Amino acid sequence: MLRRLNDQLHMTVAEFKTVPPSANGNGQVGVNTPEYGRAAHHGGNGHRRVRHQIHKGFRRAALKADTAVRLVEAGMSVGEAVTRMGVSTNAYSALKAVRASGNLALYEDVLRGSESTLPAAARVKNAATIIAAYKKCSALEKELIRSATGLTSDPVTMLMNLTPEQLVAVAKALGLDWVWDKMIAAAMPTEPATGTKETVLADPAIRDVT
């Protein structure tokens, strides 16, 4: 009998230890416990309040990274900018690459959350690097790049370097009416060429047969 009472006592102590010290007898958080205060701070149900990622049509994280990039462009150091905005250097670098690529549609999609920042930056980072380097090139260096790559901003040179298949594809994309109206009809002279003589036929003489 003593052994049975002793076993029951050990079981009761073990069950008592399983109850959290911050809970009351029925396992609920006590009113005067720190856990109760934290639960009340997060809405009274013990769950942390969720902050929406999209605010007024923009993704918060992307907007913060974009602001950090703008601060650096204004003269602030990268370390101070990312610290002030609470973003990582990876997010800063990614948003900087998207901006530097010149792809305004992609940039807008990233800010509004339609595109994720890091994957978008991975697609355009090489272009962003080349564009930034090209802007620093001298006239001689730019000419060397054009010679090596065929890069040009002259539309005539572009068309001359297109293959027949590419020319047909361009014409189909623009539409034959557009090509005729904008490129052919618009280039045709509207006045007769100078130096040409117009032939005037004289009216036959009217004879009086009476």
Contacts of 169 (CB under 8 A, 6+ apart): none
* pLDDT for position 56: 76
Compute the distance between CA of residue 135 and CA of residue 108 in angstroms, rounded to an integer: 23
Contacts of 132 (CB under 8 A, 6+ apart): 100
* pLDDT for position 143: 83
Token representation of residue 111: 């800010």
Give pTM, 2 decimals: 0.50
Q: Which among 119, 123, 112, 61 is positioned nearest to 88, based on CA atoms?
A: 61
* pLDDT for position 193: 60
Give domain limits for the chain. 11-50, 54-135, 150-187
Q: What is the DSSP string of 171-202?
A: HHHH-HHHHIIIIIGGGS-SSPPTTPPPP-PP
Amino acid present at 86: G
Compute the distance between CA of residue 106 and CA of residue 117 in angstroms, rounded to an integer: 10
Compute the distance between CA of residue 55 and CA of residue 62 in angstroms, rounded to an integer: 11
Compute the distance between CA of residue 210 and CA of residue 205 in angstroms, rounded to an integer: 15
* pLDDT for position 63: 92
Which parts of the chain register pLDDT below 70? 1-52, 192-210
* pLDDT for position 35: 47
* pLDDT for position 122: 94
